[in-house]
Amino acid sequence: MTELDLLKKYSKAQVGGVIFREVRVGKASNKPPCYGKERSIDGVRIPTSSSKPDEMKRFKGNEQEFEELLASAAAVEVIEVAHTYGSPAHSIGRGVIGQALVGKYLLEMKYPTAKATPIVVCMGGKGRDCMLEKVCERIGVKVWSTRGGFVDSIAA
C-alpha cells in the first residue's frame, strides 16, 4: 500500500472537508548562516460543509482555493503518512511523529491564522507501539490506523 493509498483511506473515513496533498511550507535558503529547503506536508485537511467526504486535490495548481478555505477554517489537520524508505510502516515511528509536529508549526508560521492538529496515518500492524502512542497523546499528535480509526492509547 502506497502513501497515497493510505491518505485516500483516511480521506474516505472522515466526514466533510477536502485534503490538499503535498502542501508546500517553509522557505528555501542557502545563505549563511541559514540553510534549508522548502518542505511539503503529505496532506492538509480543511473541514468544509460543501465537500465530499473523500475529496482530495493536489496543492500545486490549487493554492488560491487552499488559502481561501484555510482563511475561513476554525481548525485544520496536518497529515503525515507513516512510511519507511518508500514502504508503508505497520505502525508509528519517531520520524513521522516529528514530521507531523514540524509540519503543524511550519503551516502555522506560513499561514498565521491556521490552527492545526497533527495527524499520523499508518497501517497499524499486528503489534502496537503503546509507548509512542502515549507520547503522541501527551504532545497532541493524533494517530489514525487503517485497522480501526483513531487510536486510543493504552497504559504503557
Closest CA to 147 of 10, 3, 2: 10
Mean confidence (pLDDT) of the chain = 85
Which domains, from first to last, does the chain contain? 3-150 (3.40.1350)
Banded pLDDT at 119 (limits 50, 70, 90): very high
Residue 2 Cα to chain centre, angstroms: 15
- Whether pLDDT at 44 is above 70: yes
Coil vs helix vs strand at 52:
coil
**Global confidence as pTM:** 0.88
pLDDT, average across residues 22-45 = 86
Banded pLDDT at 146 (limits 50, 70, 90): confident
- What's at 86, amino acid-wise? G
Tens of pLDDT, residue by residue over 57-76, are 999 999 999 999 999 898 99
DSSP letter (8 states) at residue 62: -
> Between the CA atoms of 12, 63, 59 and 143, what dihedral angle is there, to the nearest 10 degrees?
-50
- What's at 153, amino acid-wise? S
- Give percent of the chain above pLDDT 90: 47
In whole angstroms, give the CA distance from residue 95 to residue 102: 11
pLDDT, average across residues 9-24 = 87
Q: CA 43, 47, 51 angle in degrees (round to 5)?
A: 95
Instruction: List the beta bridge partners of residue 11.
Output: none
In this predicted structure, what is the pLDDT of residue 84?
56
> Which three cell numbers mark 149?
480509526
> Which three cell numbers mark 91?
505502525
In whole angstroms, give the CA distance from residue 64 to residue 95: 31
Place of cell 549563511: 32
> Which three cell numbers mark 45?
485537511
Instruction: List the beta bridge partners of residue 39.
Output: 25
In whole angstroms, give the CA distance from residue 139 to residue 156: 15
